Amino acid sequence: MTAIQNGIDRISDYDGLLRGKRIGLITAPTGLDAEFRSTIDLLHERYGLAALFSPEHGVRGNLGAGDLVDAYVDPQTGVPVYSLYRKDSKRLTEEMLREVDIVVYDIQDVGTRYYTFIYTMLYALEDCAAAGIPFVVLDRIDPLDGVTVEGNVLREEFSSFVGGYPLAVRYGLTAGEVASMANAERGWNAELHVAECRGWKRGMLFPETGRAWIPPSMGIPRFHTALLYPGTCLFEGTNLSEGRGTTAPFETIGAPFVDGEVLAKEMNGLKLPGVHFRPVHFNPYMSKHQGSLCGGVYVHVLDERALRPVETGVRLLFKVRELFPAFEYLAPYRKGGRPFIDLLGGDEGYRTEGPDALLERFADESRLFAERKKAYHLYE
What's the domain range around 299?
223-347
Whether 44 and 97 share a structural domain: yes
CATH number at residue 282: 3.90.1150.140
Whether 118 and 180 share a structural domain: yes
Whether 186 and 70 share a structural domain: yes
CATH number at residue 158: 3.40.50.12170
Q: Taking a C-beta distance cutoff of 8 angstroms, is the pair 377, 202 a contact?
A: yes
β-pair type (275-282, 294-301): antiparallel
Closest CA to 297 of 220, 315, 330, 285: 315
| 358 located within any domain | no
Phi, psi dihedrals of residue 62, rounded to the nearest 5°: -95, 5
Whether 242 and 123 share a structural domain: no
**Positive or negative: CA dihedral 29, 30, 33, 36:** positive
Please list the residues that pair with 277 across neighbouring strands.
299
Domain C-terminal end among 147, 182, 215: 215
| 274 located within any domain | yes
Q: What is the pTM assigned to this prediction? A: 0.96
| 367 located within any domain | no
Q: How far apart are CA 97 and CA 210, in angstroms?
A: 37
Q: Taking a C-beta distance cutoff of 8 angstroms, is the pair 284, 242 a contact?
A: no
**Positive or negative: CA dihedral 171, 173, 176, 182:** negative
Q: How many domains does the chain have?
A: 2
Whether 153 and 275 share a structural domain: no
- Measure Cα distances from 111 to 11, 77, 189, 380 in Å: 23, 31, 24, 17
Whether 187 and 261 share a structural domain: no
| 375 located within any domain | no
**Positive or negative: CA dihedral 355, 346, 219, 43:** positive
Per-residue pLDDT of the chain (380 residues; tens, 9 = 90+): 468 999 999 999 999 999 999 999 999 999 999 999 999 999 999 999 999 999 987 898 876 655 666 788 999 999 999 999 888 889 999 999 999 999 999 999 999 999 999 999 999 999 999 999 999 999 999 999 999 999 999 999 999 999 999 999 999 999 999 999 999 999 999 999 999 999 999 999 999 999 999 999 999 999 999 999 999 999 999 999 999 999 999 999 999 999 999 999 999 999 999 999 999 999 999 999 999 999 999 999 999 999 999 999 999 999 999 999 999 999 998 889 999 999 999 999 999 999 999 999 999 999 999 999 999 999 99
Q: Looking at the chain, how many residues does it have?
A: 380
